Amino acid sequence: MEDEDLVRAFEAGTVPDGGFGHEQHVHVAWWYVKRHPLPDAMARFIAGLKHFAKCQNKPDLYHETITVAYVLLINERLSESRDLDWSAFAERHADLLQWRPSILEGYYRPETLASPRARQVFVMPDQWRA
């Protein structure tokens, strides 16, 4: 699926062909971060993700800490690979696409991410990745 088609489906709150799993979440976040300054990309992706979850009748699935952490990681990775298309970016940064175990396990304890607080507001990492 083309980047713009995936983003269009996401913004419309519809599940694209092939589903909308973790990789598609990262793909859409990458698209926003690649095209907008970080604060704008963050705001657009968060609003879009909340809208998408609501359209899927799953508004309680939104998790602020996971969302913000992934957008920040994508932004960091783009600093060295902004010229790559999605396929090349995904290949170079495959660790971002793995959901279980997640790259966030190097930054957060499971109980932190499972907390109601982390779902509602961005919580700073528990530890720094070695």
* Predicted local distance difference test score (pLDDT) of residue 81: 87
Structure confidence at residue 17 (pLDDT) = 86
Binned at pLDDT 50, 70 and 90, residue 1 comes out as confident
Region for 87 from its dihedrals, namely left if φ exceeds 0, alpha if ψ lies in -120 to 50, beta otherwise = alpha
End-to-end CA distance of the chain: 35
Q: In the structure, what pLDDT confidence band is assigned to residue 130 with cuts at 50, 70 and 90?
A: low
Q: Are 102 and 125 in contact (CB under 8 A)?
A: no
Task: Residue 12: name the closest of 28, 23, 27, 35 by CA.
Answer: 28
> Predicted confidence band at 129 (pLDDT cuts at 50, 70, 90)?
low
Residue pointed to by tokens 């309680």: 60
Chain segment 44-65, per-residue pLDDT in tens: 999 999 999 999 999 999 999 9
Count of alpha carbons within 13 angstroms of residue 45, beta-carbon side: 30
The Cα-based distances of 21 to 24, 26, 37, 40 in angstroms read 5, 9, 25, 23
Distance CA 117, CA 90 (A): 30
For 75-88, how does the pLDDT look when each residue is reduced to its tens digit (9 = 90+)? Answer: 999 999 899 999 99
Delimit the domains of the chain by residue range: 3-120
